[in-house]
Amino acid sequence: MNDDGVLKLVQQRKSTRVPFDPHRPVRKKELRQIMEAARWTPTAHNMQNFEIIVVDDKKQLERVGGIESRVSEEFLLENYQQLSFSQEELLQKKVGILGTNFPASWRDPAKLDAAVREGAHQHLSQTINGSPTLLIVVYDSRKRAPASKGDVLGILSLGCLLENVWLTASP
C-alpha cells in the first residue's frame, strides 16, 4: 500500500453537528457522488443488503418529518451522561456531544426524568431539521451472509455503507 490518499481522507474527515441549511439544496452532482460511493460499498458475500431511498420532495420530507418515534429510556439516560452544555465543556471533556443538539426538554435533568416517565416521543422533523434532501437506508435482513449468527456480517456491511456515504458527503 503505497498510496496514502485514503489515509489522508480518513484523517481529514470531521464530524459536523450543525443544523441543516434548508436554503442550500444538495446539488445533483454531489448526490450522484454519494450514491456512487454507496454502490461501491463492500458487503459480506456481496449481499448488497440495503436499499437507499432519496427523498428531496418538500411535501414528502414534511410527511417523513411528521412521523413520531419513541425515544428509549436507555438512549436518553446513556446519552445524557455524554452531554456537554457548552462548547468549552465539550472541548474539555474531548468526548460526547453538545447538548444543544438535543431538544430542550432533554437537557434539563428534571424535565428529562419526566420525559423518561412519559415515554419521550419526538417527530422526525426534529432530526431532519429542514434538510432539503434525506437518504433513507433500508436494511434487508433477508439478504444475509451464510453462517452469520445474528447477521453480524450484514450489520458490518451496513457500517461500511454508512462510512462510504459519510466520507463522500463530508464538507
DSSP state of 26: P
Residue 107 CB coordination number (10 Å) = 15
- At 50 the pLDDT is 92
Question: Regarding the domain delimited by 19-56+130-171, which CATH topology (the fold level of the hierarchy) does it fall under?
Answer: NADH Oxidase (3.40.109)
Residues of the chain under the 70 pLDDT cut:
1-2, 16-20, 101-107, 109-110, 112-121, 171
- At 96 the pLDDT is 79
- At 78 the pLDDT is 77
- At 162 the pLDDT is 93
- At 2 the pLDDT is 60
Q: Is 11 exposed, middle or buried (0-12, 13-18, 19+ CB in 10 A)?
A: exposed
Cα distances from 72 to residues 17, 67, 79, 138, 163, in angstroms, run 22, 16, 11, 21, 25
- At 149 the pLDDT is 80
